[in-house]
Chain A
Amino acid sequence: METKRFYIFSPGLRLWHWVNFFAILALFITGLYIGNPFFLGPIGYEATYAYDKGITMDLIRKIHFVAGYVFLSGFIFRVIIALFSKRDRLIIPPFWRRDYWIGLKEITLKYSLIMRDKEGNEYIRNAYARSVYPLIYLLFLFMIITGFAMYGMSNPGGLWASLFGWIIPLLGGEFMTHMWHHWIAWIIIIFAILHFYLVVREELIKQNGELTSMFTGYKVFEKEPVDIEDIKE
């Protein structure tokens, strides 16, 4: 069958995606330890000298903070590329358009195995993805705000505290801020699992380059996607 290759993902977006992937991985693993330090630090040193001997809370926190800065920088970068390029601006679900609602119906039928995946229209991004990504971006923002608020409040008069400290009373104190930060981290990880599965599923069924598109930037379609206007410059 005749197929068409479409350029979907900009280099900036692809770079951001993988930097973000590694940042979140590092943040999650170190964050689990910070929430519940499940192994013991070095033994046989005075505590004062033990902080830099092997894998300690000090090192793990440092990795968490560095990854946090990477995550924040990535987020800012993501916002900037969205400002300058149309194809990086698929964030807001186009719920004022008919094709969004038709797509929502089709993807629901496809995921409930009632409709075959090759039937119906093609979309550069399905309606579920379009609806969920903005929420995930909000969760990213929430993690940045709560994270840097907690980080910054060791110096309540400092820059981070004055930028993000306001979130702490809104969440009912600093302890609850820690808890929220922890709960939302799990939601992002569960999203990542489902995200990975749905990408693999698409690739297995359609062989349309879904899995490799985040490296190459290209996807293959059998017919022109109905929302192709969204990425035409």
Chain B
Amino acid sequence: METFWETFKRHGLSRRDFLRFSTTITGIMGLSPSMIPKVVQALETKPRVPVLWVHGLECTCCSESFIRSATPLASDVLLTMISLEYDDTLSAAAGEAIEKHREEVIKKYWGNYILAVEGNPPLGEEGMYCVVGGKAFLENLKETAKGAKAVIAWGSCASWGCVQAAKPNPTTAVPIHKVITDKPIIKVPGCPPIAEVMTGVIMHLVLFDSVPPLDSQGRPKQFYGNRIHDTCYRRAFFNAGQFVERFDDDGAKKGWCLYKVGCRGPTTYNSCGNIRWYNGLSYPIQAGHGCIGCAEEDFWDSGPFYERLTNIPLPNVEANPDKVGAALAAAAAAGAVVHGVLSKIRNK
């Protein structure tokens, strides 16, 4: 396999182009400028890494996001940085040919390839809710993970379970860390994750030949180290107490904080507030819609997206906790008065 620098030369690109590229991706990966020489050295010496990209229960929004990466371009990553050996959605070949190729690649690069998992395996009915190439995806996943150096969990499906694992989870879909237990797993949650976060994670793996620093939940710190709330450009409105009450009110037009209409920014860890989407163009809050917390565990089950305080999760109870709390407190006070009068009479 050739190195990145060799690929650059083969494409007729100059040393200056190469250094510019190295500097840019250093920034994207969240590293300090002092790391540029190391990145350059890695690009000069590291051969391209084989990647197997498998799809389970999912909607392909991760792939859709990935191909929109602008810095670096997804095509650059796919064609010059990694060696994408298998992807049942992007492959030209299909059917038995590509499945055979997967088996060959696993043998050939045993212990050296990266497994990228988009989607997750359902455990119900022995995995028969998701079948790839005539085999349960569950089996495919276990088999492919065995020889992998590291595993990337793309998106909320692979990281947390996402919509198919939301209550009542009819197919018993589980995040991949329930199935793959003996490999380092890098969770890249989001529905989908930000394109530049995806390419950034891949580049870190490829260039440094190591898993990026992860937080206690297994997410790369450089991309999931902050709440959206703490990086939000509307944060000043939150601190000032200026809130949108309804989506058609004056506050909404003035771009006030979306906290009261259910924004999950205060409880969601992602880079939407600083990297943003579509090459830094915008992100949901900038477009006037609250964050729905798509990078967080069980965000589908955390109550209505448009309410800050969700209803108390009791069967057949549809009530705001403040109303229930106030009613119970009033009942306790009233009960106390009645009981007090009766006690006084009894103890005459």
Binding site for B on A (CB under 8 A): 32, 35-37, 39-43, 45-48, 50-51, 53, 55-58, 60-61, 111, 113, 116-118, 153-154, 156-157, 165-166, 169, 172-179, 182-183, 185-186, 189-190, 193-194, 197, 200-201, 204-205
Contact = CB atoms under 8 A, between A and B. Distances in A.
A153 B325 CA distance: 27
Nearest to A174: B267
Contact of A197 (B256, B269, B336): B336
A177 B310 CA distance: 12
B347 interface: yes
Interface of B: 215-217, 221, 225, 227, 230, 236-243, 256, 259-260, 264, 266-269, 293, 296-299, 302-303, 308-310, 312, 321-322, 324-325, 328-329, 332-333, 336, 339-340, 342-344, 346-347
Contacts of A166: 216
8 contacts: A41-B240, A169-B217, A173-B297, A173-B302, A175-B302, A176-B302, A189-B325, A201-B336
B310 A173 contact: no
A183 B240 contact: no
A201 B343 contact: yes
Contact of B239 (A56, A186, A200, A201): A56
Given A154-B227, A166-B216, A189-B329, A204 B241 contact: no
A51 B236 contact: yes
Of the candidates A32, A43, A48, A179, the one having the most CB atoms from chain B within 10 angstroms of its own CB is A179
Contact of B343 (A179, A185, A205): A205
A58 B259 CA distance: 14
Nearest to B254: A47
Nearest to B293: A175
A35 B344 contact: no
Contacts of A178: 266-267
A18 B60 CA distance: 58
Contacts of B256: 47
B347 A205 contact: yes
Contact of B328 (A36, A55, A177, A190): A190
A198 to B, nearest CB: 8
A183 B319 CA distance: 12
Closest A-B pairs by Cβ, 9 of them? A41-B241, A186-B325, A197-B336, A50-B240, A47-B236, A174-B267, A58-B239, A51-B239, A175-B267
Given A37-B243, A175-B264, A193-B329, 20 more contacts: A45-B240, A46-B236, A47-B237, A47-B256, A51-B239, A113-B342, A116-B347, A156-B221, A157-B221, A166-B216, A169-B217, A169-B297, A173-B296, A174-B266, A175-B303, A182-B321, A183-B321, A183-B325, A186-B325, A197-B340
